[in-house]
A and B are shown apart, each in its own frame.
Chain A
Amino acid sequence: MSTAIANPTDSGALVSAALLEVRSVAKRFGAVKVLNDVSLNIASGEFLTLLGESGSGKTTLLRLIAGFEQPSSGEIWMRDKRLDTLPPYKRPVNTVFQHYALFPHLNVRENVAYGLRVKGTAAREISGRVEEALRMVKMTEFAATRPAKLSGGQQQRVALARALVNRPRILLLDEPLSALDANLRKQMQSELKALQREVGITFLFVTHDQDEAMALSDRIALLRGGVLEQVATPRDIYTRPATAYAAQFIGQTNLLAAEIRDGWAICGALRWRSTEPNGPALFSLRPEAITQVSANSASAPGAVCFRATIRQQLYGGANETLDVDCGDWQFLRVRIPASQPMSGEFEFAFSSADAVRVRP
């Protein structure tokens, strides 16, 4: 994916490869500030997810881009045209709504054709494009059916086709999978990803489900309380979270409040090498980064070793999650591959590179 995209956590230059630019957008509803100085660039052809809890402002940002709300301040640009001054029906942007919003009085074909019809497209072109769209979402045999007779998953495909047939420059998806049950959700996730690859349109996806975000996205924009916490690829956001919130929201982690002294980070019974300047610092250490040292395996050079007592062991099928006590009630969560029930004191190790410094 294009690396030349501005990440607001860098102090970097903006590159004009961006398809959509959100410039210092803020949104207030009465006295409540829902979005606070958000700047974001979206590249052409990328799958970007807006991730956050409810109330984080992710849906509001989506609606601002779609045109159903106006920013209180800031601007939205698409290439060199200003977008936020346009009404929704003039924007080259289409939305897949959370509950699909299919027109109940039209059948599937008419629903999909709607956007083309209202713009006065020729009938022949409409039928061609509609058939193509239905084929893409595998709903051709339901063309004459009314939405009320379709299942949730089927309605969702129709909603997708209805949006995509208009060839928008950006497709906005507002938690489209949240109403589906778990199995169907997984299936739709891979279909969506494949579809995006095939069609090549930029997808802006909103969800509160971090697994979903990690699986689908080229980049994740994590929103918290109306502010962008971090924008990075799934891999980066997981291995190098910028803040404690990011580290805890995505995956599980141990937060270590350490003191740096002359090249050493000290946290309770743990010490590891660190290049950070002296002073207090917060570190994130993922549970799976901690391994159990057995009698025969030698720990890698530079590894930090420590002894800890197992207080709780939770079996998770493919792995075990251990709550271990490093002494003085300093608890760590450790994840190791599945083994036997264990008790007592054991030796554990982690690499100092895995302890990532995060902002509080």
Chain B
Amino acid sequence: MSTYETSRRAPVLVIYAICVFAFIYLPIAVLITYSFNGTGVGGFPPSHLTLDWYRQLFNDRAIWDAVLNSLLVAAASVALALTLGLLAALALDRATFPGKALFRRLVLLPLILPGIITGLSLLMFAVLVRAPLSLLTVFLGHGTALISVATTELFAGLQKMDRAQEEASLDLGATPWQTFWRVTLPALKLSIIAAGLLIFTLSMDEIAVTFFLIGRDNTLPLEIWGRLRRGITPEINAISTLIFVVSVGLIVIWYRLRARALRNAE
């Protein structure tokens, strides 16, 4: 740490930073607090503590059905996006083909464009092929939109890999197919897991694209959304708190993996 950093303690900056952190975290803190609040969602101060809302939540069939749906879609999306993303990363790294630059841009579009555009485009496509809207269409939408998350992460992993290892494997008598499974994939292990976690989280939280592709079965965000239209209940605070806890857990795992990958690279 340079002397510049230790010599100046800028108190204004510290206070400002604290304020920004407060701004980021207070709403979540409020949310969590009021999930235990007996008198409901609003008002101040929160009065008696209760687990009623959580109890109500656990008995809520519809919510858990929605959770299951979300998990299914997320898992399937991870599989689809990782597979195609891995192939795309390999292609970008090793092959030249017509339209390579266009492909690169196209696959990034769902991430940078507002979700409504991707969602509506896919809806129009579904109408064109006369596909009924269902979890299947949601899955296809998520999987397609999230390919580039996998591609970016895996491409970076490929670049970091020591190419000589693949050559060594071929040199020692392994066919390209064997080399892919025994050398390339293990080298990408951490990238694959990191990408998988990210895709899973993004799929679980996806609303904009899902909004237009949903059929009768709801995913969790859309189930919550539906309830919000009818009115706020503290039960939603409860489920939100649970979502928050799980998210934090996932991000801790993701971060540990990242740190481990960086350490291994040395």
Indicate whether A and B are direct neighbours in the complex (CB within 8 Å): yes
From B165, B171, B189, B264, give the contact of A103 (CB < 8 A). B165
**Interface residue? A97 (CB, 8 A):** yes
Residues of B with C-beta under 8 A to A101: 162, 164-165, 167-168
> Judging by beta carbons under 8 Å apart, are A115 and B170 in contact?
no
From B162, B171, B186, give the contact of A95 (CB < 8 A). B171
Number of chain A residues whose Cβ lies closer than 8 Å to a Cβ of chain B: 26
> Judging by beta carbons under 8 Å apart, are A103 and B170 in contact?
no
CA distance A163 to B171 in the complex (A): 9
**Interface residue? B233 (CB, 8 A):** no
Given contacts A101-B167, A118-B182, are A89 and B187 in contact (CB under 8 A)? no
**Interface residue? B175 (CB, 8 A):** yes
Tell me how far the C-beta of B186 lies from the nearest C-beta in chain A, rounded to whole angstroms. 4
Residues of B with C-beta under 8 A to A315: none
**Interface residue? A99 (CB, 8 A):** yes
> Judging by beta carbons under 8 Å apart, are A89 and B173 in contact?
yes
From A87, A102, A105, A163, give the contact of B170 (CB < 8 A). A87
> Judging by beta carbons under 8 Å apart, are B173 and A68 in contact?
no
Residues of A with C-beta under 8 A to B186: 103, 105
From A97, A105, A118, A163, give the contact of B167 (CB < 8 A). A97
**Interface residue? B174 (CB, 8 A):** yes
**Interface residue? A66 (CB, 8 A):** yes
List B residues 129-169 near A (Cβ within 8 Å): 162, 164-165, 167-169
CA distance A97 to B172 in the complex (A): 12
Residues of A with C-beta under 8 A to B187: 104-105
- What number of A-B contacts does a CB cutoff of 8 Å give? 70
> Judging by beta carbons under 8 Å apart, are B162 and A94 in contact?
no
From A99, A102, A166, give the contact of B173 (CB < 8 A). A166
From B162, B167, B174, B175, give the contact of A68 (CB < 8 A). B167
Given contacts A99-B162, A101-B162, A101-B165, are A118 and B183 in contact (CB under 8 A)? no
> Judging by beta carbons under 8 Å apart, are B168 and A118 in contact?
no
> Judging by beta carbons under 8 Å apart, are B264 and A94 in contact?
no
Number of chain B residues whose Cβ lies closer than 8 Å to a Cβ of chain A: 20
| Central interface residue in B165, B173, B178, B187, by most chain A CB within 10 Å | B173
> Judging by beta carbons under 8 Å apart, are B171 and A94 in contact?
yes
Tell me how far the C-beta of A60 lies from the nearest C-beta in chain B, rounded to whole angstroms. 14
> Judging by beta carbons under 8 Å apart, are A162 and B164 in contact?
no
**Interface residue? A114 (CB, 8 A):** yes
Given contacts A104-B264, A105-B186, A148-B264, are A88 and B162 in contact (CB under 8 A)? no
> Judging by beta carbons under 8 Å apart, are B174 and A118 in contact?
yes
Residues of B with C-beta under 8 A to A93: 171
> Judging by beta carbons under 8 Å apart, are A103 and B183 in contact?
yes
> Judging by beta carbons under 8 Å apart, are B264 and A89 in contact?
no
| Central interface residue in B169, B172, B183, by most chain A CB within 10 Å | B172
Tell me how far the C-beta of A133 lies from the nearest C-beta in chain B, rounded to whole angstroms. 13
> Judging by beta carbons under 8 Å apart, are A118 and B172 in contact?
yes
CA distance A101 to B161 in the complex (A): 11
Tell me how far the C-beta of A179 lies from the nearest C-beta in chain B, rounded to whole angstroms. 13
CA distance A164 to B189 in the complex (A): 29
CA distance A262 to B186 in the complex (A): 74
List B residues 171-212 near A (Cβ within 8 Å): 171-176, 178, 182-183, 186-187, 189
**Interface residue? A67 (CB, 8 A):** yes
> Judging by beta carbons under 8 Å apart, are B169 and A114 in contact?
yes
Residues of B with C-beta under 8 A to A115: 172-174
**Interface residue? A124 (CB, 8 A):** no
Residue of B whose beta carbon sits closest to that of A99: B164
Tell me how far the C-beta of B222 lies from the nearest C-beta in chain A, rounded to whole angstroms. 41
Tell me how far the C-beta of B214 lies from the nearest C-beta in chain A, rounded to whole angstroms. 42
CA distance A308 to B189 in the complex (A): 71
Given contacts A103-B183, A105-B186, A105-B187, are A88 and B178 in contact (CB under 8 A)? no
> Judging by beta carbons under 8 Å apart, are A67 and B170 in contact?
yes
**Interface residue? A81 (CB, 8 A):** no
List A residues 97-122 near B (Cβ within 8 Å): 97-99, 101-105, 114-115, 118-119
Tell me how far the C-beta of B201 lies from the nearest C-beta in chain A, rounded to whole angstroms. 26
Tell me how far the C-beta of A120 lies from the nearest C-beta in chain B, rounded to whole angstroms. 10
Given contacts A101-B162, A105-B187, A148-B264, are A95 and B168 in contact (CB under 8 A)? yes
CA distance A327 to B143 in the complex (A): 84
> Judging by beta carbons under 8 Å apart, are B164 and A97 in contact?
yes
CA distance A104 to B182 in the complex (A): 11
List A residues 52-110 near B (Cβ within 8 Å): 66-68, 87-90, 93-95, 97-99, 101-105
Residue of A whose beta carbon sits closest to that of B168: A101
Given contacts A103-B183, A104-B264, A105-B186, are A118 and B173 in contact (CB under 8 A)? yes
Residue of B whose beta carbon sits closest to that of A66: B171
CA distance A57 to B87 in the complex (A): 34
Residues of A with C-beta under 8 A to B189: 105
CA distance A67 to B174 in the complex (A): 13
Tell me how far the C-beta of B94 lies from the nearest C-beta in chain A, rounded to whole angstroms. 14
Interface residues of A, Cβ cutoff 8 Å to B: 66-68, 87-90, 93-95, 97-99, 101-105, 114-115, 118-119, 148, 162-163, 166
Given contacts A89-B176, A118-B172, A118-B175, 12 further A-B contacts (CB under 8 A): A88-B167, A94-B172, A99-B162, A99-B164, A102-B165, A103-B165, A105-B186, A105-B187, A114-B169, A115-B173, A115-B174, A118-B173
Could you list some 13 contacts between A and B, CB below 8 A? A88-B167, A101-B162, A101-B168, A104-B264, A105-B189, A114-B174, A115-B172, A115-B174, A118-B172, A118-B175, A119-B173, A162-B168, A163-B171
User: Lowest 8 A-B CB distances belong to which pairs?
Assistant: A115-B172, A101-B164, A118-B174, A101-B168, A88-B170, A105-B186, A95-B171, A89-B173
